[in-house]
């Protein structure tokens, strides 16, 4: 099960990382705003950036560990196929 979780997580990680990087790049110009626009929109951009970074860290650490622990382990050698 650990090998299967590792294989599945590594296959999905490329698309997830690129998607998160694209979203972060979209928010980069908001960080350069000054004046009243900067005061209004910088907290929103910071919140989105921190949420994406937190989700990225969790997807690398917590989610694979929990799926390895809680997903049902099947013994394919003993199963009969009809």
33-81 pLDDT, tens digit per residue, is 999 998 999 999 999 999 999 988 888 888 778 877 887 666 655 655 5
Global confidence as pTM:
0.66
Q: Classify 14 as helix, strand or coil.
A: helix
Report pLDDT for 29. Answer: 92
For the chain, which residues make up each domain, given as ranges? Answer: 2-70
Cβ atoms of 51 and 40 within 8 Å: the answer is no
């Amino acid at each position: 099960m650990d090998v299967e979780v590792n294989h599945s997580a590594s296959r999905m990680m490329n698309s997830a990382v690129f998607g998160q990087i694209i979203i972060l790049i979209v928010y980069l110009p908001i960080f350069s705003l000054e004046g009243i626009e900067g005061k209004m929109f910088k907290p929103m951009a910071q919140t989105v950036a921190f949420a994406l970074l937190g989700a990225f860290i969790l997807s690398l650490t917590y989610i694979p560990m929990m799926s390895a622990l809680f997903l049902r382990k099947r013994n394919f050698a003993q199963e009969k196929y009809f």
